[in-house]
């Protein structure tokens, strides 16, 4: 099975062409493939597939290193767009792709970056999904006997966002997996730890559902900006600094879709013996 190794700000992926045949791996095989010592290693596996939606050029699938599926991946979306462009399947300008959570738009920029329409953030608890009696900007949840305040939003996948004073010292490795599995998120969640630096800049670390802490999380950056903008803490365009680099997120507010701009890079091509 041939594959491409790619990354977006250090959030790394294996991309497999499944336009004419299905992925020949089950969940256990994906876990072996994703192991950084006994396999190739990746945060997520991405499949390029024929679109089922007639309004989209192609579809893509997302698998975490633990073999579970994901509904969206912002850094992965940019890599999918770059992979398709290099394969000659996408031309210049905008295109629509079918993600596991619905259609998204991408635009290939002249500087090699990709601009992506990530859709409108969803705050309604039933659409995240998040168990709450009513929608709120802030929720207090019990995390192993400790009350933690979060924002909850879906960017095609569920996110909890925790405001912190200093992202460098945030307890990501402890609170991340604990919040990921709280009963309020029946499907689990990604957990972002966000430090507001200025109205146009935040710093962020993300514990990704089914993966662990990654160097960057595109949908996590979108979720953090959406939650913080809803609280009136940031402006429409925000520079998000993650351990792996920077993304630009723009959201004009309710009724508008959210746009993410950032790089996507090829690392190497390989062949995996299945």
| Residue positions annotated with a catalytic role | 73, 217
DSSP, residue by residue, 122-147:
B-SGGGTT---SS--S-EEEEETTEE
Is omega for the bond preceding 100 within 30 degrees of 0, making it cis? Answer: no
DSSP, residue by residue, 103-121:
EEEEEE-TTS-EEEE----
Cβ-Cβ contacts under 8 Å for 55 (sequence gap 6 or more): 96, 103
User: Are the C-beta atoms of 197 and 234 separated by less than 8 Å?
Assistant: no
Q: Is 85 helix (H, G, I), strand (E, B) or coil?
A: helix
Residue 185 is classified by DSSP as S
The tokens for 193 are: 């730890």
What Rg do the C-alpha atoms of the chain give, in angstroms?
A: 18
Cβ-Cβ contacts under 8 Å for 133 (sequence gap 6 or more): none
């Amino acid at each position: 099975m041939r594959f491409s190794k790619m990354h977006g700000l250090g959030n790394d992926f294996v991309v497999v062409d499944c336009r004419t045949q299905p992925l020949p791996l089950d969940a256990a095989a994906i876990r072996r493939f994703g192991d950084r010592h006994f396999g190739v290693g990746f945060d997520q596996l991405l499949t390029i597939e024929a679109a089922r939606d007639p309004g989209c050029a192609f579809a893509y699938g997302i698998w975490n290193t633990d073999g579970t599926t994901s509904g969206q991946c912002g850094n992965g979306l940019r890599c999918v767009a770059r992979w398709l462009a290099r394969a000659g399947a996408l031309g210049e300008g905008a295109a629509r792709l079918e993600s596991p959570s619905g259609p998204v738009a991408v635009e290939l920029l002249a500087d090699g970056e990709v601009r992506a329409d990530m859709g409108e953030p969803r705050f309604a608890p039933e659409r995240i999904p998040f168990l709450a009696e009513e929608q709120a900007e802030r929720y207090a949840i019990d995390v192993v006997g400790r009350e933690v305040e979060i924002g909850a939003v879906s960017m095609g996948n569920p996110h909890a966002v925790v405001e912190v004073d200093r992202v460098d010292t945030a307890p990501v490795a402890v609170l991340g997996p604990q919040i990921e599995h709280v009963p309020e998120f029946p499907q689990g969640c990604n957990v972002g730890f966000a430090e507001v630096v200025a109205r146009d800049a935040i710093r962020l670390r993300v514990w990704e559902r089914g993966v662990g802490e990654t160097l960057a999380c595109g949908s996590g950056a979108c979720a953090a900006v959406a939650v913080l903008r809803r609280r009136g803490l940031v402006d429409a365009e925000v520079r998000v600094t993650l351990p792996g680099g920077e993304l630009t997120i723009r959201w004009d507010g309710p009724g508008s879709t959210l746009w993410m701009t950032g790089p996507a890079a090829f690392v190497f091509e390989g062949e995996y013996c299945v």
